[in-house]
Amino acid sequence: EGVGPQEYTLIKIRCLELPASMQEKFADKTVFLVAATLRPETMYGQTNCYVLPEGEYGVFEMINNEYYVCSERSARNMSFQNMTKEHKQYPCLQKVSGQELIGLKLKAPLTKYEYVYALPMTTISMFKGTGIVTSVPSDAPDDWAALRDLQTKKGLREKYNVLEEWCNPFEPIPIIEIPGFGNMAAVKLVEEMKIQSQKDKDKLTEAKDKVYLKGFYEGVMLLGPCANMKVQDAKPIVRKQLIDNNEAAVYYE
Ligand code: A2H
């Protein structure tokens, strides 16, 4: 948004299983769902990964024999950032719908959960980032609203074929203490502001702005090698660690 490119961190969330339609071509490949984030220091709090059920994604070959699932639009951008196998090329090896990705078992970096699941979020934009969002419900109001919807609404789970065991055991993780907001700022604000669901757009925007600003300047990390550091100072350190471990990549758009 605004002028100039936005710098994101792409979090590489490894597929521990694949949709039926991808098994023939990609069974022996390293496949990731990739999620663009502005908050790499919050990755300790991941509980799941979100896709747009009706979203159209593709599988693209990247450098180092890795395969990314993301929007074609983001694959195109990646092809100009030396991320795809061939510079400026981004052939779509296979199309895959968001609905097909729901329920996949995934390995996300830094979180305490051994694996997490791909779940539906109806407010994802396919025109931002990769169209895939990693979920940190402790600190992102949108993520908590969507996870709470799935945990509490049987009808919603049935609509998207979501099993309870993919969402209910995954509690938000306290990762950042924000003075006045406690250690799960998004959960607290969603409650306080009486946000009803992931569709409560205006209130969610307000909540997001509040947590984001206050968290960045006043938040203190609760875990990891940056424990006790200010969020502002921890961010570049955690980001570098993720990139050095090949668990994340730099991405602009
Ligand atoms: B953030 P901006 Cl903990 N559609 O990551 C909807 N939302 C998307 C998206 C898409 N296609 N792609 C990325 N996002 C989300 C973490 C996080 C984020 C926390 C707190 C706030 C926050 C965990 N989710 O974002 O419009 C991603 O969620 C608050 C803005 O480019 C990404 O960072 O500013 C953020 O929105 C990018 O939004």
pLDDT of residue 2: 63
pLDDT of residue 1: 55
SS (H, E, C) the chain: CCCCCCEEEEEEEEECCCCHHHHHHHCCCEEEEEEEECCHHHHHHCCEEEECCCCEEEEEEEHHHEEEEECHHHHHHHHCCCCECCCCCCCCCEEEEHHHHCCCEEECCCCCCCCEEEEECCCCCCCCCCCEEEECCCCCHHHHHHHHHHHHCHHHHHHCCCCHHHHCCCCCCCCEEECCCECCHHHHHHHHCCCCCCCCHHHHHHHHHHHHHHHHHHCEECCCCCCCCEHHHHHHHHHHHHHHCCCEEEEEC
Residue with CA at minimum distance from ligand 1 atom 27: 37
The alpha carbon of 27 and the centre of ligand 1 are apart by a number of angstroms equal to: 30
Report whether residue 124 contacts ligand 1, using a CB cutoff of 6 Å: yes
Report whether residue 42 contacts ligand 1, using a CB cutoff of 6 Å: yes
What the block records as the tokens of 194 is 């009486």
- Which residues, other chains included, contact 240 with Cβ-Cβ below 8 Å and sequence gap of 6+? none
The domains found in the chain, sorted by start residue, are 7-171+231-252 (3.90.740.10)
pLDDT of residue 4: 81
Q: Of 130, 134, 6, 122, nearest to 72 (Cα)?
A: 130
The alpha carbon of 147 and the centre of ligand 1 are apart by a number of angstroms equal to: 15
- Per-residue pLDDT of the chain (253 residues), as tens digits, is 567 889 999 999 999 999 999 999 999 999 999 999 999 999 999 999 999 999 999 999 999 999 999 999 999 999 999 999 999 999 999 999 999 999 999 999 999 999 999 999 999 999 999 999 999 999 999 999 999 999 999 999 999 999 999 999 999 999 999 999 999 999 999 999 999 999 999 999 999 999 988 998 999 999 999 999 999 999 999 999 999 999 999 999 9
Question: Contact at 8 Å (CB) between 214 and 189?
Answer: no
ipTM over 0.85: yes
Going 202 to 9 to 138 to 209, the CA torsion angle's sign is negative
What the block records as the tokens of 117 is 């699941």
**CA-based R_g, the chain, Å:** 17
Distance CA 120, CA 171 (A): 17
pLDDT of residue 200: 97
